[in-house]
Amino acid sequence: MVVDLEVGPDGSVVNGDVYRARVHNKAKLAYNSVGMWLEGHADSPEKVTAVKGLAENLKLQDKTADLMRELRHEHGALDLETIEARPVFSDGHVVDLTAEARNNAKNLIEDFMIAANGVTARYLKAKGLPSMRRVVRSPERWDRIEAIARELDDPLPPDPDPVALEQFLVRRRKADPLRFPDLSLAIVKAMGAGEYVLEKPGEESIGHFGLAVKDYSHSTAPNRRFPDLITHRLIKAALAGEKPPYSIDELATLARHCTDAEDAANKVERKVRKAAAACVLEPRVGEKFDGLVTGASPKGTWVRIFHPPVEGKVVHGAQGLDIGQKVHVKLVSVDVENGYIDFVRAHK
């Protein structure tokens, strides 16, 4: 399935189409090598230079993606930065965790995927078909986001405002880049999770608050995500002039199921990541680390150490600690099965 985009000089998608085709992949490229090249940190990958015109094409795509991203941010798309620690394996064992970094190649694909998901959603709407939309509603906990901003002496309006929130995030990233990932995580939690919903023909779209787009459906990963496969089946029916392969009731049920299944998968993923972090730190009980306080409440105080980038609970000496403070801690115990990591406050 090809999503054909026409992008204007300001980064807006001025036209789009969807059709079937057979694609011949002439260069199987890797994110990191292409990203280093696009950012000027490395020579062009050999696979890029081997295909005539590919380098120029990629640079044009990179420039276009930048324009599309800038326009989304002007409309209030949120530029968040959370730390995702990936396990490093050696001989079948987890030996380290590394924070996955963004680069121009990953950003390029992300920007074009967002645009493609918009085109597919509008295509189904134009054909009078129902669709399964990916939505993030206007935050119910805007009051919590407001409180976070007030604590930083950078107030936000009383009603949800994506443009004001994005401008706030830009200011905070510049003012305090070290703590920005933890601020991003707090904002993500207050916004609430994304969900899949049925959109009937003629209905008003809920939209995606975090991306600042109105029309959005998951369609770019049918090989690994079931909602995308559903969207492709709907598109194929539209292209063939056939009735939708699902009834309205079936699509509504599938949307709820996909949301529930995603929530369950995320819980498993979080538990596995915690277990991997505990596994990496298990041989290092007794060592001391520098970290940052990421949570402080009656339920407990939490610290993220810098390397490996993992979070644990301060079980002793947490008095007086508050979010954003740098702190020195000692690792006292881990529980790999449950993913528990316990620290005590220490002195250098």
Q: Answer whether residue 324 shows pLDDT above 80.
A: no
Q: Answer whether residue 221 shows pLDDT above 90.
A: yes
φ/ψ of residue 267, rounded to 5: -65, -45
User: Does residue 266 lie in a domain region?
Assistant: yes
User: Does residue 74 lie in a domain region?
Assistant: no
CA 99 to chain centre: 14
Total number of domains constituting the chain: 3
DSSP state of 245: S
Average pLDDT of the chain?
A: 93
Check whether residue 106 and residue 172 sit in a common domain. no
- Pairing verdict, β 131-135 and 195-199: antiparallel
Check whether residue 12 and residue 116 sit in a common domain. yes
Residue 87: pLDDT band (50, 70, 90) is confident
For residue 321, the model assigns a pLDDT of 87
User: Does residue 118 lie in a domain region?
Assistant: yes
- Domain holding 326: CATH number? 2.40.50.140
For residue 333, the model assigns a pLDDT of 97
16 in Cβ contact with 4 (< 8 Å): yes
Q: Answer whether residue 140 shows pLDDT above 80.
A: no
Check whether residue 57 and residue 180 sit in a common domain. no
User: Does residue 120 lie in a domain region?
Assistant: yes
For residue 54, the model assigns a pLDDT of 97
Check whether residue 108 and residue 179 sit in a common domain. no
> Pseudo-torsion of CA 200, 239, 256, 133, nearest 10°?
-70
Check whether residue 340 and residue 311 sit in a common domain. yes
For residue 59, the model assigns a pLDDT of 97
Helix 31-38, helix 54-74: angle, nearest 10: 80
Q: Which of 216, 246, 276 is the last residue of a domain?
A: 276
Region 314-334 average pLDDT? 91
Domain ranges, residue 240: 2-69+79-136+193-276
User: Does residue 221 lie in a domain region?
Assistant: yes
**What is the reported pTM?**
0.85
Q: Tens digit of pLDDT for each residue in 158-186?
A: 999 999 999 999 999 999 888 888 888 88
Q: Answer whether residue 222 shows pLDDT above 80.
A: yes
What tokens were used for 80? Answer: 């968040």
Check whether residue 232 and residue 314 sit in a common domain. no
Check whether residue 291 and residue 270 sit in a common domain. no
For residue 296, the model assigns a pLDDT of 83
- 87-91, 267-271, 332-336: range with highest mean pLDDT: 332-336
| Higher pLDDT, residue 84 or 158 | 158
Check whether residue 119 and residue 197 sit in a common domain. yes
Check whether residue 237 and residue 272 sit in a common domain. yes
What tokens were used for 311? Answer: 């979070």
Q: Answer whether residue 104 shows pLDDT above 90.
A: yes
Check whether residue 153 and residue 24 sit in a common domain. no
Region 126-144 average pLDDT? 92
Region 289-294 average pLDDT? 90
